[in-house]
Structure 1
Amino acid sequence: MSVLEQKTFIAAIPPFDRLLEADLERMVQSVDIAYFKTGEYLIPAGRVPDHLFIVIKGLVHELSDEEKVSVYTKQDSFNPLALIENSNSNAFVAQEETICYLVPKVVFLNILHRNKSFENFYYQDLTARLNDLIEQRNSKEVASFMVARIEDAYIQPPVFVDAQVSIAEAVKLMREQKVMALLIKRDQDVGIMTDTDVSNHVVLKRVPIDAAVGDIATYRLIGAKIDDFLFNANLLMTRNSIKHLIIYDRENQIAGILDQVDLLSYFSTHSHLIAVQIERATTTEQLKKASQTLVSMIQSLYSRGVKVRFISQLVGELNKKIFEKLYQLIAPPELLANSCLLVMGSEGREEQILKTDQDNAIILRDGFEYPDLPKLTQSLTEILIDFGYPPCPGKIMVSNPFWCKSLKAFQDQMYDWVDQPNEEALMNLAIFYDAQAIAGDTSLLAAVKNYLYKLLNDNLIFFSSFARPTLAFETPLSWFEGFIVEKNEHKDELDMKKGGIFPIVHGVRSLALEHRLTCTNTIERIKVLRDKGVLDKDFAIELIEAFAFMISIRLDAELKKVNLNQDYDNYIKPDALNKLERDLLKDSFKIVNEFKKFITHHFRLNMVS
């Protein structure tokens, strides 16, 4: 390998990508290359190494008392902390023929102390190292996609007209100014009129062109700040089914209008097209086609470095639109007016990214009856299965009469779950607490939840029982910080949901229920609990980052299985992760353990059986 090849190889590995040119040159000039046979010790236990090892080829296991605690493959480096602290207790053994660069200790430490950014890498907290991982994964893609702000796009200058101006004059002005929207001044209010408004009112509703433009304007403006991210602008447009966004400057004055077409010059995910497909669907087959494009959109967003929490938000909005549209397509007007369709579980929390089991329900207005309801709910379940949403093994679906009943029946059910909190009751209550109203009369869900909040009191035994499942599964991290993996059909894999994601979801849900929070998303709940002083500010940040990272790791594994046409699940293989990812996963599991201790203390789980 030439000096240039060595330099290119090392420079591509974090944190060596932070080195100045002169330091990188010095490191490359000083390295040796060493070969190790299978079973050979690179660093025996108890010996402080003389070099930093960078794996060129092969596989190395780090052992603590003969237990594997870490794995190193191509482009991984070890053991920098042994050089920094001048101590080492673990052994490093080649599991196959291995070739490494050896960087002399004196050279490594000299560069470390001269380069603050390089040094900080080895002392970062979880949040900072997660950001490094994102940079490592996405580099230039992230800069162009996630960092782009609204001010980077073309913003149509604001064109104002008085509300008394005729529609004909307003349309003429739009043509002259070459704009697709005008801002309408009516007394102290400002509204917007778009080309779509003209079509809807003049062409379809036969409003005279001499009528005042203010009569067809919309005065509920939806906007964003000019220094906000374009991705958030896209999310706002998708959530509200709009094509124009009012943009405010830093002094909160209207700076102009962001048109969807201009925003899309920064996007190639086609999320807007999916939303349009959903909106325009007139048959379930058309809606199915829209739902089937979600996976490719998710893959595109993830490959571009969009944070998983933002992907889940966007997917959540699109999923809600799909469910809402489907219900509108198959339910007659009288049912829509007297019922509320809910999504629950991960869908209700907007944390479902790839399609998983259905969790849905219908609340009916008291006294309302619809004879064909069983047939309609069965059809709804079957159509969703056809769309790719698997049936729930526990039958938590609208086709099950238990999850399709009147407001009073649901309120009675709340009373029973709280009054007799057995395992099944608490599980059902947890699922329902995450519910979001999707279609129909949303006040019906609000009525049930408000009734639930009134039932709850400061009953320690109830809340302790509700919170206990947080501890149901062991964290797959040993005392020696090695991963505890399966030995059955999922050999060498671990379950991310049981091991890390569920304890955070349910622990946070328990705290949220105790404080009667109305938000359903786990990260939003953490933020509210932090603001209320329930969670320490710094720990809340760590908890959010650990949760987001574990979901990201799971999504990465799921998408790889999708690409191989395999069924995706909650399992990941730790040995398939790179060194930074493995370290971050271990840190995330440590956060999970700390959170379990907090929940145990907060709800006194060690005192209540």
Structure 2
Amino acid sequence: MSLLDQKTFISNIPPFDQLKASTLETVFNAMDIAYFKKGERLIRAGTEPDALYIIIKGIVQEIQDEQLVSVYVSQDSFDAMSLLDGNNKNDFIVNEELICYVLPKAFFLKLIQNNAPFKAFYYQDLSKRLNRLVEQRKTTELSSFLVAKIQDIYLEPPVFVDANTSVYEAVQTMTHQNSSSILVKADHKIGIVTDKDIRDHVVLQRYSIDLPIAHIASYHLISLSSQDLLLHALLVMLRHSIKHLLIKKNDEVVGVLEQIDLLSYLSNHTRLVAVQIVRAKNKEDLKVASHNMTNMIKAFYANGIKIKFLMQLVTELNQQLFKKLYAFIAPPALLENSCLIVMGSEGRGEQILKTDQDNGIILRDGFVYDGLEQITEEFTQTLVEFGYPLCQGQIMVNNSAWCRSLKDFKNKIFQWVLEEPLLELAIFYDAKAVAGDVTLLNEAKQYLYKHLQDNQAFFSYFAKPTLSFETPLSLFARFIVDKSHENELDIKKGGIFPVVHGVRSLALAYKITETNTMKRIKRLSDIGLFESAFATDLIEALNFMISLRLQFELKNMNQGESYDNYIKPSQLNKLERDLLKDALKIVNELKKLISYHFKLDRLS
């Protein structure tokens, strides 16, 4: 590694990346490079460390009471907090021969004293450290763009008219096809007329709308193959100062590539999916949009978008897709007399990648539709084709228990409230309307709030599942992993579910109408049940755990493997491990609050 490479290496490691160039130079001069063999003990428990270690190559294990606490790899540093506390509680042992930088303790403490951003890195709150992780994780999507082909992007379907077609008729066709351009066939050549051409010629130059469209078309169009690279398409557009390209496959025009769609693809895939949903004319069109959503999620995650914004975006697109699919399948009479609802993580607006379906239909009292079973079965199976798996608990519209009249739903709600609270009550409480008459769901929810019992026992039993799973963090801040499951931990059971259900229990008790967990937390804070600082940390902890789950979901997806909510702490970097420990500590705080609030210790 050259001197320049060494400086670059250090300057890219938090929090050294926040230092000025002159300060970084003094840091680099103060460092030594050291080599250690496998098995060497770098820091012994109970001793006062004398340096900060930054790994160039190799692996170091942190051991507490003969148990593995953390693993450090290239670009990780240790143990800053022991240097600040003046005491180390754990052993640090070389697991794979180590090459590292060694920064003397005195110099490190001097950096802490003289550099506020450097110091803040070690003392900042959870929210700030999570933001730091996002910045550290940011990557560019340019590499994927460099190998993407035109066939991977949304193309305007080709809409043709004859050269003698009047401007008025051509514009009508454009409007009917929801297209921003139209192709003109004239004398064995193809021309194009865009929205801009209509404006320039018809409006500004007063070209009659009764005259042929051919006279305002642009010819000598440039065409590319659907197999050409997007980068090549962008260069062609820039080189010729054009905004449209004809795209062919086997010499047949298959679409028009617009510059705005290409640039949108370069920045993200959102517009691609949104446009496809809006313009979808049948289920097959929606299927394409649904499958493109995964690429959009990957792109956004890679570019470091905050998880809460990603969840909001995916939720909105999913609901638009469900709404349009329902409109394709359900006759007008059914649309007018029903309400399509989504539940579970989709209802809470916390689903990102496609998990199992959780949906239902509330029918207006007295409304009967022959063939309803066929319609609900088609809806369910179409979602399966779109990539949404069947719900193992059968909470889907094709199950009559979740496709019933408003009166029947009220009867079921009454039963849920009277009996020991079941999972169904929690699922329905998270329901959100996506299509049809939303007042049907609102009336059912109001019935639920009206009949909720005020006795402590009811809400205690409802809240009890919050404590069903052990938090995978020991008293000594060590991850508790499942050794029978490749030393992994279940992030959903251990972290996400307790927050979601604990908050849901409090929200139900206070009849909060929000379905999203983050919004419920804010409302609970507004009424004084959560302190403001705790509410902020709880939201950040939940977002981080969901983000971590997504990270492993995408990793498994890229490897062609299924995902089961397990993550492997040893595959996290130092910052991620520390953040996960902090998040799980907050989960424990919430559990204590839930247990105290609902007096769960008194339940048998």
Q: TM-score, normalised by structure 1?
A: 0.78
For residues 377 and 384 of structure 2, the distance between their equivalents in structure 1, rounded to whole angstroms, comes to 11
**What is the DSSP-based 3-state SS (H/G/I as helix, E as strand, rest coil) of the residue aligned with 1:568?**
coil
For residues 318 and 415 of structure 1, the distance between their equivalents in structure 2, rounded to whole angstroms, comes to 33
For residues 597 and 35 of structure 1, the distance between their equivalents in structure 2, rounded to whole angstroms, comes to 46
**Displacement of 1:4 after TM fit?**
2.3
Q: Which residue of 2 aligns with 1:125?
A: 125
**What is the DSSP-based 3-state SS (H/G/I as helix, E as strand, rest coil) of the residue aligned with 1:430?**
helix
Do 1:475 and 1:592's aligned partners in 2 also have CA atoms closer than 8 Å? yes
For residues 7 and 280 of structure 1, the distance between their equivalents in structure 2, rounded to whole angstroms, comes to 52
For residues 32 and 303 of structure 2, the distance between their equivalents in structure 1, rounded to whole angstroms, comes to 36
For residues 508 and 132 of structure 2, the distance between their equivalents in structure 1, rounded to whole angstroms, comes to 35
Q: Which residue of 2 aligns with 1:464?
A: 460
For residues 566 and 456 of structure 1, the distance between their equivalents in structure 2, rounded to whole angstroms, comes to 43
1:589 corresponds to which of 570, 584, 599: 584
1:89-168 matches, within 5 Å, as 89-138=89-138
For residues 409 and 86 of structure 1, the distance between their equivalents in structure 2, rounded to whole angstroms, comes to 66
Q: Which residue of 2 aligns with 1:543?
A: 538
**Displacement of 1:272 after TM fit?**
2.3
- Given the alignment of the two structures, is residue 558 of structure 1 paired with residue 553 of structure 2, yes or no? yes
Do 1:308 and 1:548's aligned partners in 2 also have CA atoms closer than 8 Å? yes
Of stretches 310-319 and 525-534 in structure 1, the one that deviates more from structure 2 is: 525-534
Amino acid paired to 2:556: K
**What is the DSSP-based 3-state SS (H/G/I as helix, E as strand, rest coil) of the residue aligned with 2:487?**
coil
Shift in alpha-carbon separation, 1:264–1:418, aligned structure 2, 3 A? farther
1:427 corresponds to which of 410, 423, 426: 423
1:579 corresponds to which of 565, 574, 578: 574
1:203-602 matches, within 5 Å, as 268-421=267-420, 425-488=421-484, 490-602=485-597
For residues 276 and 113 of structure 2, the distance between their equivalents in structure 1, rounded to whole angstroms, comes to 57
Amino acid paired to 1:438: V
**Displacement of 1:126 after TM fit?**
0.9
For residues 459 and 314 of structure 2, the distance between their equivalents in structure 1, rounded to whole angstroms, comes to 32
Of stretches 538-547 and 2-11 in structure 1, the one that deviates more from structure 2 is: 2-11
**Displacement of 1:266 after TM fit?**
10
**What is the DSSP-based 3-state SS (H/G/I as helix, E as strand, rest coil) of the residue aligned with 1:292?**
helix
Amino acid paired to 1:282: K
For residues 599 and 260 of structure 2, the distance between their equivalents in structure 1, rounded to whole angstroms, comes to 55
Q: Which residue of 1 aligns with 2:34?
A: 34
Amino acid paired to 2:413: M
**What is the DSSP-based 3-state SS (H/G/I as helix, E as strand, rest coil) of the residue aligned with 1:97?**
strand
**What is the DSSP-based 3-state SS (H/G/I as helix, E as strand, rest coil) of the residue aligned with 2:379?**
helix
Per-residue CA distance 1:75-130 (angstroms, 9 max, x = gap)? 11111122222211211011121221111112111222111111111111111111
**Displacement of 1:571 after TM fit?**
1.4
Do 2:417 and 2:453's aligned partners in 1 also have CA atoms closer than 8 Å? no
For residues 520 and 358 of structure 2, the distance between their equivalents in structure 1, rounded to whole angstroms, comes to 20
- Given the alignment of the two structures, is residue 85 of structure 1 paired with residue 80 of structure 2, yes or no? no
Amino acid paired to 2:273: I
Q: Which runs of 5+ in 2 are unaligned?
A: 142-179, 181-194, 200-208, 210-258
Do 2:264 and 2:271's aligned partners in 1 also have CA atoms closer than 8 Å? no
For residues 283 and 130 of structure 1, the distance between their equivalents in structure 2, rounded to whole angstroms, comes to 42
Of stretches 520-529 and 560-569 in structure 1, the one that deviates more from structure 2 is: 560-569
Q: Which residue of 2 aligns with 1:253?
A: none
Q: Which residue of 2 aligns with 1:213?
A: none
Do 1:527 and 1:540's aligned partners in 2 also have CA atoms closer than 8 Å? yes
For residues 407 and 362 of structure 2, the distance between their equivalents in structure 1, rounded to whole angstroms, comes to 9
**Displacement of 1:492 after TM fit?**
1.5
**Displacement of 1:350 after TM fit?**
0.9
RMSD over aligned Cα, in angstroms? 2.4
Do 1:523 and 1:544's aligned partners in 2 also have CA atoms closer than 8 Å? yes
**What is the DSSP-based 3-state SS (H/G/I as helix, E as strand, rest coil) of the residue aligned with 1:58?**
strand
For residues 515 and 14 of structure 2, the distance between their equivalents in structure 1, rounded to whole angstroms, comes to 37
For residues 127 and 286 of structure 1, the distance between their equivalents in structure 2, rounded to whole angstroms, comes to 40
**Displacement of 1:280 after TM fit?**
2.2
**Displacement of 1:499 after TM fit?**
0.8
Of stretches 388-397 and 129-138 in structure 1, the one that deviates more from structure 2 is: 129-138
**What is the DSSP-based 3-state SS (H/G/I as helix, E as strand, rest coil) of the residue aligned with 1:379?**
helix
Do 2:269 and 2:299's aligned partners in 1 also have CA atoms closer than 8 Å? no
**Displacement of 1:448 after TM fit?**
0.7
Do 1:500 and 1:550's aligned partners in 2 also have CA atoms closer than 8 Å? yes
For residues 3 and 349 of structure 2, the distance between their equivalents in structure 1, rounded to whole angstroms, comes to 50
**Displacement of 1:282 after TM fit?**
2.2
Do 2:261 and 2:271's aligned partners in 1 also have CA atoms closer than 8 Å? no
Amino acid paired to 1:125: D
For residues 109 and 346 of structure 1, the distance between their equivalents in structure 2, rounded to whole angstroms, comes to 46
Amino acid paired to 2:488: E
**Displacement of 1:140 after TM fit?**
8.6
Do 1:3 and 1:28's aligned partners in 2 also have CA atoms closer than 8 Å? no
**Displacement of 1:287 after TM fit?**
1.1
**Displacement of 1:372 after TM fit?**
0.7
For residues 14 and 120 of structure 1, the distance between their equivalents in structure 2, rounded to whole angstroms, comes to 11
**Displacement of 1:568 after TM fit?**
2.6
For residues 71 and 464 of structure 1, the distance between their equivalents in structure 2, rounded to whole angstroms, comes to 40
Amino acid paired to 1:327: Y
**What is the DSSP-based 3-state SS (H/G/I as helix, E as strand, rest coil) of the residue aligned with 2:602?**
coil
Of stretches 20-29 and 537-546 in structure 1, the one that deviates more from structure 2 is: 20-29
For residues 302 and 41 of structure 2, the distance between their equivalents in structure 1, rounded to whole angstroms, comes to 38
Q: Which residue of 2 aligns with 1:149?
A: none
Shift in alpha-carbon separation, 1:116–1:386, aligned structure 2, 3 A? same
Q: Which residue of 1 aligns with 2:233?
A: none
**Displacement of 1:30 after TM fit?**
2.0
For residues 602 and 266 of structure 1, the distance between their equivalents in structure 2, rounded to whole angstroms, comes to 49
Do 2:58 and 2:73's aligned partners in 1 also have CA atoms closer than 8 Å? yes
**Displacement of 1:276 after TM fit?**
2.3
Of stretches 82-91 and 324-333 in structure 1, the one that deviates more from structure 2 is: 82-91
Q: Which runs of 5+ in 1 are unaligned?
A: 142-179, 181-194, 200-208, 210-259
**Displacement of 1:476 after TM fit?**
0.6
**Displacement of 1:368 after TM fit?**
1.1
For residues 121 and 477 of structure 1, the distance between their equivalents in structure 2, rounded to whole angstroms, comes to 23
**Displacement of 1:273 after TM fit?**
2.8
**Displacement of 1:550 after TM fit?**
0.6
For residues 548 and 424 of structure 2, the distance between their equivalents in structure 1, rounded to whole angstroms, comes to 28
**Displacement of 1:373 after TM fit?**
1.0
For residues 299 and 463 of structure 1, the distance between their equivalents in structure 2, rounded to whole angstroms, comes to 39
Task: Give the number of equivalent residue pairs.
Answer: 496
Q: Which residue of 1 aligns with 2:191?
A: none
